[in-house]
Amino acid sequence: MEAKPTSDRHVPVLLQRCVNLLAPGIEAARQSGTTPVIIDATLGMGGHSEAILNQFDDVLLIGLDRDTQALELASKRLASFGDRFKPVHTTYDRIDEALAEAGAQTLSGILFDLGVSSLQLDERDRGFAYSYDAPLDMRMNQSAGIDAAELLNTVEERELIQIIRVYGEERFANRIAAAIIKRREETPFTRTKELSDVIIAAVPPHTKGGHPAKRTFQAIRIAVNEELAILEDAIPNALDRLHVGGRLVAMSYHSLEDQIVKRHLRERSKSKAPVGLPIEPEELKATFTMVTKGTEAPSAEEIAENSRAASAKLRAAERIREDIKPQADYPRSHRL
């Protein structure tokens, strides 16, 4: 059977909203006489990148992905844009290297569409899904790192409990971890069905919250790919490289991802001046402003058309001034 076109295999979430949020950063670059540079930090199958390149004919778009299969598919899809599209095989915490490789220095905008991609979920042999049997892999970059089977077969029980409880927000983490340890002592894990069956047996029946294995599979995937650690570095790196007027747009599908994005954006959007200081020094003023009020969510219509959009949370911020190195130490408080 012939494979579906890439554009038919994935429906980008909040597509036009993301493009519109990035537009002011592109215009700011134009006004300064420089080429607008956008990074799609989670290229996937290239849906968001294609929309950006179509709408803005002067944009240089750098697409990042650690998944070589995604890079190959997106590169074919975006080949007609020629040198305006530059794919880079890397994780999104390595923005400086990606910019250097593309011959750029500053960013007009960066888009993060976090979490597992539709491609990874739909490719059965990747082992991301609990709904069908496959090799227990879960690596976004299959050429590096340990896979999920190795993690499950070697990790200590205490660490496994932490992974499942924290990354999966799973209240039955102790029971699930104990069941995994017991099973691997008899036979090492190699398949997703083996893991799913153990989890189903460990979780009390009739428990609410969807499939019993959903949260544990999510937790193992996050641990295997070090997703949260990479994101912790990626957001501040991206903010540092945006020029004035440039924007960061991030979509999260998991509360821990959203908390990281929210924390970094709020830190940059608040004054560092001590409470009570009569004059706010320029170097202590906020360098960013929030564009979105809280989080934005997909419409009911979009969720009806694309169920994977249901948990999406969108945040965006814009750089309003350059960082200025402090010239002096200021007291924590000042009373007149």
Is pLDDT above 50 for 333? no
**Residue 254 in marked binding region:** no
User: What CATH number is attached to the domain comprising 172?
Assistant: 1.10.150.170
In a domain, 314, yes or no: yes
Q: Where are the alpha helices (DSSP H) in the chain?
A: 6-9, 15-31, 47-55, 68-77, 95-102, 118-122, 148-154, 157-162, 168, 173-186, 192-202, 214-225, 227-241, 255-268, 300-305
Q: Which domain holds residue 233?
A: 6-113+228-268+286-319
Nearest to 43 by CA among 72, 4, 81: 72
How many CA atoms lie within 13 Å of 117's alpha carbon, on the beta-carbon side?
A: 30
pLDDT score of 331? 52
Count of domains for the chain: 2
Is the domain of 98 the same as that of 11?
yes
Is pLDDT above 80 for 313? yes
Is the domain of 84 the same as that of 221?
no
Mean confidence (pLDDT) of the chain: 89
In a domain, 193, yes or no: yes
Is the domain of 103 the same as that of 249?
yes
Is the domain of 53 the same as that of 89?
yes
Is the domain of 204 the same as that of 248?
no
User: What CATH number is attached to the domain comprising 55?
Assistant: 3.40.50.150
In a domain, 1, yes or no: no
Is the domain of 154 the same as that of 190?
yes
Is pLDDT above 70 for 8? no
Higher pLDDT: 327 or 190? It is 190
In a domain, 275, yes or no: no
Higher pLDDT: 50 or 307? It is 50
**Residue 120 in marked binding region:** yes
**Residue 82 in marked binding region:** no
**Residue 69 in marked binding region:** no
**Residue 113 in marked binding region:** yes
Nearest-angstrom CA–CA distance, 93 and 225:
13
In a domain, 91, yes or no: yes
**Residue 31 in marked binding region:** no
Is the domain of 198 the same as that of 232?
no
**Residue 329 in marked binding region:** no
One DSSP character per residue, 191-218 reads BHHHHHHHHHHHSPTT-SSS-TTHHHHH
Q: Looking at residues 71-97, what average pLDDT do you find?
A: 95
pLDDT score of 40? 97
Residues contacting 309, CB < 8 A, separation 6+: 11, 13, 14, 298, 302, 303
Q: Are strands 60-65 and 85-89 parallel, antiparallel or unpaired?
A: parallel
In a domain, 278, yes or no: no
One DSSP character per residue, 3-19 reads PPPHHHH---TTHHHHH
Q: Looking at residues 118-140, what average pLDDT do you find?
A: 80
Is the domain of 216 the same as that of 145?
yes
Q: Bridge-partner residues for 60, per DSSP? A: 37
Q: Are strands 242-252 and 313-319 parallel, antiparallel or unpaired?
A: antiparallel
Cβ count near 182 (within 10 Å): 12
